[in-house]
Amino acid sequence: MKLSKFNFIVTSVLGVAILSYLVAAFRIRGEAGGMHKSILPMYWADRVAGRDLFDPVEQVWYKGNRQVNEVALTIDDGPHPLSCASLLKTLKEKKVIATFFVVGKQVDGNPDLVRMMVQDGHEIGNHTYDHIRLDGIAREKVYDQISFCDKAVARAAGRNMVLFRPPGMRYNDNVLNVAGQLSKIMVHWTIGAKDFVGTTPDYELTPELKKLPPITPDLIVGYVTKQLKPGAIILLHDNPITAEAMPRIIDEVRKRGYEFRSCKDMLRNLPNPVYITPNQPCGYGLQDPTSSTH
């Protein structure tokens, strides 16, 4: 009788523990990347250690501190001559520091816009030279894509880049190895505003994305605000529609109690802080965009 009672207690405790575990896994399934990941003990081990936020071995940053109401604003694919100046004007008026993941060939065509980014205090990140998917090319070409973008920014603004985002967030071991060789920190995103739909060739879109309605400023604002969480990394793109939406995006994010932070500050605010110095002078470039003669 005593043994039976003991077994009942043990079974009940285990049942409650398993149920609590499954409830917790269900609650954070979106953040973990799906229920199939959130139920894995390895994910919880990474979460407790902070590796789900930043992987110190692969140097990959996934998201900010989930205990702090702050977000990072990242803008890919520029500088675009039809929208970048407008984006910079809004960011200056709203006193927001963003991180621009630039494409090397766009930099070579619009070096003045890169110098404006640096002059205004924004962070510059590497988004390859030709904006091609890196997981489908040879290691040597991966190296060229990243290093050629580095050289374009060095020529334009005399700055080194620490932050890196592969196009489409597509990467493999070759990409990780080259990024490590070039001392890059890879930056993921947690909020995608789908603002590239309609401005990107169809062959780059998935069947699901092709079914979406044409992007509008209202849709962009809605996509961002519906996904807001502490530590979010917002992904936007340098195009005219996003430039039109940017003032409202900033206002709506702040209205919901979030502060904009640079990637540098978000990394520093992690439970296990990561310290970087973006935009370091490299001694090579046309001019120093922060100098008084600019």
21 and 167 assigned to the same domain: no
Type of residue numbered 73: L
196 and 76 assigned to the same domain: yes
| Domain membership flag for residue 293 | no
Number of domains into which the chain is organized: 2
Average pLDDT over residues 203-207: 74
Average pLDDT over residues 272-279: 96
Phi, psi of 114 (to 5 degrees): -65, -40
For 44-53, the pLDDT digits (tens) are 556 655 689 9
Average pLDDT over residues 191-213: 80
Q: What is the pLDDT of residue 195?
A: 94
Q: Is 215 exposed, middle or buried (0-12, 13-18, 19+ CB in 10 A)?
A: buried
Phi, psi of 219 (to 5 degrees): -65, -40
21 and 142 assigned to the same domain: no
| pTM given for the model | 0.85
173 and 69 assigned to the same domain: yes
In whole angstroms, give the CA distance from residue 35 to residue 28. Answer: 8
For 225-248, the pLDDT digits (tens) are 999 999 999 999 999 999 999 999
Q: Tell me how far CA of residue 38 lies from CA of 21, 28, 46, 52, 268, in angstroms.
A: 10, 7, 11, 11, 26
Lowest mean pLDDT among 143-147, 214-218, 246-250: 214-218
Strands (E), 181-221: 185-187, 191-192
For 144-156, the pLDDT digits (tens) are 999 999 999 999 9
**Which residues lie across from 164 on neighbouring strands?**
126, 186
43 and 86 assigned to the same domain: no
Q: Which domain holds residue 36?
A: 8-49
In whole angstroms, give the CA distance from residue 81 to residue 67. Answer: 38
DSSP assignment string, 62-79: ----TTS-EEEEEEEEE-
CATH number at 146 reads: 3.20.20.370
In whole angstroms, give the CA distance from residue 170 to residue 128. Answer: 12
β-pairing verdict for 159-160 and 280-281: antiparallel
SS3 of 158, please? coil
Average pLDDT over residues 109-119: 98
70 and 122 assigned to the same domain: yes
Q: Is 252 exposed, middle or buried (0-12, 13-18, 19+ CB in 10 A)?
A: middle
171 and 270 assigned to the same domain: yes
Q: What is the pLDDT of residue 100?
A: 98
Residue 43 predicted with pLDDT over 90:
no
